[in-house]
């Protein structure tokens, strides 16, 4: 009799445990959002204003900072973008490995063009790329994004000399930002370095407007915007730079 009782007790406990686990699995499945497979289309790009695009990037940055990146179906997005692309923005960023641009703005395949060069200063090839993005591919926003503790800008402040014409040429692009920033030329002064990085962003925005007729015209017509931004290595936030 005792044996039968024990058997029923164990069987009942096993049944209760199993139904609890099942309920937990069902709850997990219900809370898990489906993977996002949609990509930018000509229509979704054309209905966005430059402000919409900026807001979209900034809310993506909020999700990045709160560890709530969108779960995407990447193979589906790859497949959906094979025949064309309609990116909403072009972002000119530094090459720094701590600034993962698409992740910083929670963007998927086909969402944004990303142009990268150490210190995020423009040059003719980058201007051509920006003009292609806004003039041909229909992007609505040009963002120049500098970042905290930029090694390229720091090297220019320190007058780094590695005996390379290429490096000299790269670093020389930051001179206007350095000479235009008040303070002693000293990269260990964190506030000074931050001000130079921001001045370099503003200078690059100004240069893009003055050196590209296409960008200037589209911005004057209100079809695109050019903005500067600063990325914090400390908290992953992006803030606009005047």
- Residue 96 or residue 219: which is nearer to Zn ion going by CB? 96
Taking the complex as a whole, the smallest distance from the CB of residue 38 to Zn ion amounts, in Å, to: 33
- Residue 28 or residue 166: which is nearer to Zn ion going by CB? 166
- Residue 153 or residue 224: which is nearer to Zn ion going by CB? 153
- Residue 96 or residue 122: which is nearer to Zn ion going by CB? 96
Taking the complex as a whole, the smallest distance from the CB of residue 238 to Zn ion amounts, in Å, to: 14
Taking the complex as a whole, the smallest distance from the CB of residue 171 to Zn ion amounts, in Å, to: 12
What is the DSSP annotation of the chain?
-HHHHHHHHHHHHHHHHHHHHHHHHHHHHHHSPPPB-----HHHHHT--HHHHHHHHHHHHHHHHTT-PPPB-HHHHHHHTTT----SEEEEE---TT--HHHHTT--TTSEEEEE-TT----HHHHHHHHIIIIIS---EEEEEEETT-HHHHHHHTT---S-HHHHHHHHTTHHHHHTS-S-S-TT-HHHHHHHHHHHHHHHHHHHHHH-HHHHHHHHTTS-EEEEEEE-TTT--EEEE-
Q: Which residues bind Zn ion (CB under 5 A)?
A: 94, 96, 150, 152
Taking the complex as a whole, the smallest distance from the CB of residue 232 to Zn ion amounts, in Å, to: 13
- Residue 53 or residue 178: which is nearer to Zn ion going by CB? 178
Taking the complex as a whole, the smallest distance from the CB of residue 166 to Zn ion amounts, in Å, to: 16
């Amino acid at each position: 009799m005792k044996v039968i009782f024990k058997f029923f007790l164990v069987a009942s406990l096993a049944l209760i445990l199993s139904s609890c686990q099942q309920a937990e699995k069902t709850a997990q499945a219900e809370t898990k959002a489906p993977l996002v497979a949609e990509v930018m289309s000509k229509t979704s790009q054309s209905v966005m204003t430059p402000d919409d695009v900026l807001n979209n990037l900034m809310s993506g940055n909020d999700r990045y900072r709160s560890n709530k990146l969108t779960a995407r179906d990447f193979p589906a997005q790859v497949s959906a973008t094979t025949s064309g692309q309609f990116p909403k923005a072009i972002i000119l960023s530094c090459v720094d490995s701590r600034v993962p641009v698409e992740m910083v703005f929670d963007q998927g395949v086909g969402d944004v063009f990303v142009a990268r060069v150490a210190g995020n200063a423009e040059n003719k090839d980058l201007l051509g790329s920006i003009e292609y993005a806004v003039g041909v591919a229909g992007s609505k926003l040009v963002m120049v994004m500098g970042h905290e503790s930029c090694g390229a800008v720091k090297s220019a402040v320190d007058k780094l000399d590695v005996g390379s014409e290429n490096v000299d040429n790269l670093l020389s692009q930051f001179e206007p930002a350095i000479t235009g920033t008040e303070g002693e030329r000293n990269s260990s002064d964190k506030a000074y370095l931050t001000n130079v990085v921001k001045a370099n962003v503003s200078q690059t925005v100004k240069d893009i407007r003055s050196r590209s007729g296409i960008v200037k015209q589209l911005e004057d017509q209100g079809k695109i915007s050019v903005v500067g931004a600063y990325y914090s290595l400390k908290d992953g936030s992006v803030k606009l730079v005047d």
